[in-house]
Amino acid sequence: MQGVKKSDPEVYGHIVSEFKRQKDVLNLIPSENYVSKAVMEASGSVLMNKYAEGYPYKRYYQGNKNVDEVERIAIERAKKLFGAEHANVQPLSGSPANAAVFLAFLNPGDKFMGLDLACGGHLTHGSQVNFSGKTYQQVSYGVDKESGLLNMQEVREIALREKPKMIISGLTAYPRKIDFAEFQKIAEEVGAIHVADISHVAGLVASGVYPSPFPFTDVVTTTTHKTLRGPRGGMILCKEKYAKQIDKAVFPGMQGGPHMHTIASKAIAFKEALEPEFKVYSEQIVKNAKALADSLMNEGIKLVSGGTDNHLILIDLTSFGIGLGKEIAIALENAGICLNANTVPYDPSSPFKPSGLRLGTPVLTTRGMKEEEMKIIGQWIADVIKDYKNEKLQEIIIGKVKELCDKFVFY
Residues that bind ligand DSN (CB under 6 A): 31, 94, 122, 172
Of 165, 176, 226, 229, which residue is the catalytic one?
Answer: 226
Nearer to ligand DSN, 97 or 286 (CB): 97
Q: Phi and psi for 214 in degrees, rounded to 5?
A: -95, 150
Nearer to ligand DSN, 32 or 41 (CB): 32
Q: List, in sequence order, the alpha helices (H) in 240-390.
A: 243-248, 260-274, 276-298, 325-334, 362-366, 371-386
CB of 16 to ligand DSN, least distance (A): 25
Q: What is the DSSP string of 186-226?
A: HHHHHTPEEEEE-TTTHHHHHTTSS---TTT-SEEEEESSS
Is 226 designated active site?
yes
Please, which residues have CB within 8 angstroms of residue 212's CB and are 6 or more apart in sequence? Answer: 82, 83, 180, 205
> Catalytic residue among 71, 197, 309, 316, which?
197
Query: How are beta strands 312-316 and 193-197 bridged, if at all?
Result: unpaired
Radius of gyration of the chain (CA): 21
- C-beta closer to ligand DSN: residue 265 or 342: 342
Per the annotation, the verdict on 165 as an active-site residue is: no
CB of 221 to ligand DSN, least distance (A): 11
Give dist(CA 135, CA 390) in Å, integer: 46
Annotation says 53 is catalytic: yes
The minimum distance between CB 31 and ligand DSN, in angstroms, equals 3
Nearer to ligand DSN, 31 or 255 (CB): 31
Active-site residue flag, 157: no
Give me the residues paired with residue 212 across strands: none
Q: With respect to ligand DSN, which residue has the nearer C-beta, 150 or 158?
A: 150
For residue 138, give the nearest of 115, 172, 157 by alpha carbon: 115
Is the distance from CB of 314 to CB of 149 less than 8 angstroms?
no
Residue of 72, 232, 302, 370 marked active site: 232
- Tell me the closest approach of the beta carbon of residue 12 to ligand DSN, in angstroms: 27
User: Which residue sits closest to ligand DSN, CB atoms considered?
Assistant: 31
- The residue from 223, 224, 227, 262 that is catalytic is 223
Q: Closest distance between ligand DSN and the C-beta of residue 95, in Å?
A: 7
* Residues designated catalytic: 51, 53, 197, 223, 226, 232
